[in-house]
Amino acid sequence: MIAGIFLLATVASGYGLEAGVTPIEKVTQMMQEMVAKGKQEKHDEQVRFSAFKQFCVDTTDQKQDAIQNAADDEQLTADITKAQADQSRLSEEIAVLDTNIGQWEADKAAAAADRAAEKAAYDELHADYSESIDALGRAVMTLSKQTGDTKQGTSLLQKVSTLARLPAQAKKTILAFLDTSAAGPLDVSAPEANAYEFQSGGIVEMLEKLEDKFKKELDGYVKEEMNSKHAHQMLDQELHDQIEEANRQREEKTKVKAQRAGDEATAKGDKATTEEAKAADEKYLKDLIIECGEKSRSFEQRQMLRAEEIEAVGKAIDIIQSPDVAGSGSKHLPSLLQMKTKTSMVLLRSSTAPLRKAVSFLAAKAKSTKSHLLALMATKAQDSPFDKVKKMIKDMIVKLMEEANSESEHKGWCDTEMSVNGQTRETKSDTVSTLTADSDELTAKITKLGTEIAELSNAVAELDQAVSEATALRQEEKAKNEATIVDAQAAQVAVAKALTVLKEFYAKADEATALVQGAADDAPETFDEPYTGMGGSAGGVVGMIEVIESDFARLEADTSTAESEAQAEFEKFSDDSAQDKAVKNMDTENKSKDKTSAESDLNDTKKDLLSTQTELDAALAYYEKLKPSCVDAGLSYEDRVRGREEEIQSLQEALQILSGEAI
């Protein structure tokens, strides 16, 4: 019996009880902490899921609108078709111009060749006439001087006789004259020279007539050459003008064709960008719908299980806090180590009746809720200590008071934020209306491009906001998970120490205990079985601690798994968002380049409108975020305060019962 009392002391030490704290109070404290933590986690999970659900709705609407807008845009296809048709028409017109230019250049070259040949013939003819006229003139001049220099005259007449254009009759006359002079008159004295002069008089007259005739013919050829030259210049100028005009038209049409080719490429690029953005939005929306659906179903299941678990543990606390359990533990357990063996055994047997009520309740609730944890507790908790109730109630009262203070602060914050947000929305709405009125005079192209850029900018801003919100939620979730893992690991170390103390004690009890043989057959009867400790009660304590240890191990494993899955989902979401943002940024850049040339006069107004609209959207989005906790909070603030005060009062009364009642 002394060993049994020592075992109870060891169990109390394993629970880490302070002086005057019974195992019942410790068990109650553990369950109260479980209820408080479960309610807080349930509330935190509701808040987080509310933000996540709103994110799912907003993002789904945005993606569906973007996909619909991309599917309904047929203007790009029409622009591409029109640009291709213009290029085909311009190519045909350029081909016609090329043909005309080639023909005119050939005509110009042929005319130049003809003119060159004509000019060469004229130059040859002009040189021939000039030589003939010159020879005739010198011959006439020499023969007319009557100087008697017959050698020079004869030489000139001989040259004249060789002229190609000299008429045959004139040539014959000159040759006859030369033959007559060759008989000797040219070598006689001066009186005979007079005879030469007499004879050459007819020749001079003939030569003068020939000279006049050649001059007139040369003048005719000169005029004809001038007319031919002028005609060629007129034709050459006409062909030059035609070629120059055709080249100008060709250059202009080539530029227009290149411009239309650029328009086609731009339209194709815009179409490809739109299709890429649409594909990215469709993939993102598909992944988002799957994720939101899975998390919604998981949230409903988790909330239902949390509510059932809190209700079950709350009823178990009520049972353990009853006078049959808490009063008995408070009254008898602290002095249990000073009692004799017989009294200790009676107290142990008397304390099992109320505990069986709690075990029965846990087993029934485990069956109705299908909770594995409650089933293990019902199986392991037979004859377990349950004197943690007071501590758990005190912690719950403190927790409720902290929630009341937090909610009061939250209400004041909501009033301030709703007032500021309302004023912001009103101001920004008026500003947006004014700027929109100023922008009504924009051309169709500027309006279309401006709207598309604004939509893309808003989409990027919303993506950034979504990523920022997801990042904040992820960091908060990660911090809580890491803290939970640290707490679970520390708890496992502490529980392991308690188990080590108990198990080492039972091992020593098994080894140290042996069957004592009677010294004589007639000795008084004592016992005939070895004593191994209070197996029932101790087993319940060990079982409860083992359940607690397994719960903390499972908490660590589940939290680690949940953290890994949440991180993977966050990284996937971040990658999809980055890809979607890159596509939208590229589309925004392309459209901004097209719009810059036409929006110089409206740039400042457009920037103000876009900035103000973004601020208004942010204010509206912030208002939607405020509504779940500041407007649509379910029960009124006064009802929640009144209900919480009733809970605190009930817990204080239960604490008074536990402190004042005895089994």
DSSP state string for 186-206: GGS-HHHHHHHHHHHHHHHHH
Based on the structure, what is the number of domains in the chain? 1
Report the pLDDT value the prediction gives residue 184, as an integer from 0 to 100.
Answer: 47
Say yes or no to pLDDT of 342 above 70: no
Residue 57 lies in a domain: no
Residue 182 lies in a domain: yes
Instruction: Please state the length of the chain.
Output: 663
Q: Which two tokens stand for residue 588?
A: 């925004």
Lowest mean pLDDT of 159-173, 178-192, 417-431, name the range: 178-192
Handedness of CA 159, 164, 165, 166 (dihedral sign): positive
Continuous segment of H or E residues that includes residue 263:
helix 190-320
CA angle 356, 362, 366 (to 5 degrees): 145
Residue 470 lies in a domain: no
Report the pLDDT value the prediction gives residue 357, as an integer from 0 to 100.
Answer: 47
Q: For 367, what's the count of Cα atoms within 13 Å in the CB-facing half-sphere?
A: 7
- 419 burial (CB, 10 Å; 0-12 / 13-18 / 19+) is exposed
Single-letter residue type at 132:
S
Residue 401 lies in a domain: no
Residue 205 belongs to domain with CATH number = 1.10.287
Report the pLDDT value the prediction gives residue 123, as an integer from 0 to 100.
Answer: 93
Residue 426 lies in a domain: no
Lowest mean pLDDT of 153-157, 167-171, 361-365, 556-560, name the range: 361-365
Model confidence at 657, pLDDT cuts 50, 70, 90, reads: low
What's the rounded mean pLDDT across residues 33-49? 80
DSSP state string for 51-120: HHHHHHHHHHHHHHHHHHHHHH--HHHHHHHHHHHHHHHHHHHHHHHHHHHHHHHHHHHHHHHHHHHHHH
CA distance from start to end of the chain: 23
Lowest mean pLDDT of 215-229, 282-296, 620-634, name the range: 620-634
Q: Round to whole Å and give the CA distance between 475 and 567.
A: 10
Question: Is the separation of the CB atoms in 257 and 95 below 8 Å?
Answer: no
Report the pLDDT value the prediction gives residue 198, as an integer from 0 to 100.
Answer: 42
Say yes or no to pLDDT of 378 above 60: no
Considering just the CA atoms, what is the radius of gyration of the chain in Å?
Answer: 60
Residue 219 lies in a domain: yes
Report the pLDDT value the prediction gives residue 347, as an integer from 0 to 100.
Answer: 37
Say yes or no to pLDDT of 500 above 80: yes
**595 C-beta neighbours (distance < 10 Å), count:** 19
Lowest mean pLDDT of 68-77, 323-332, 643-652, name the range: 323-332
Q: What is the DSSP letter of 388?
A: B
Q: Round to whole Å and give the CA distance between 349 and 346.
A: 5
Model confidence at 662, pLDDT cuts 50, 70, 90, reads: very low
Domain that holds residue 126: 81-268
Q: Is residue 351 classed as helix, strand or coil in its secondary structure?
A: coil
Average pLDDT of the chain to the nearest whole number: 75
pTM over 0.75, yes/no: no
Residue 192 lies in a domain: yes
pLDDT tens for each residue of 231-245: 999 999 999 999 999
What's the rounded mean pLDDT across residues 66-81? 79
Q: Which two tokens stand for residue 248?
A: 């100008």
Residue 138 lies in a domain: yes
Q: What is the largest CA-CA distance in the chain?
A: 217
Question: Is the separation of the CB atoms in 70 and 278 below 8 Å?
Answer: yes
- 348 burial (CB, 10 Å; 0-12 / 13-18 / 19+) is middle
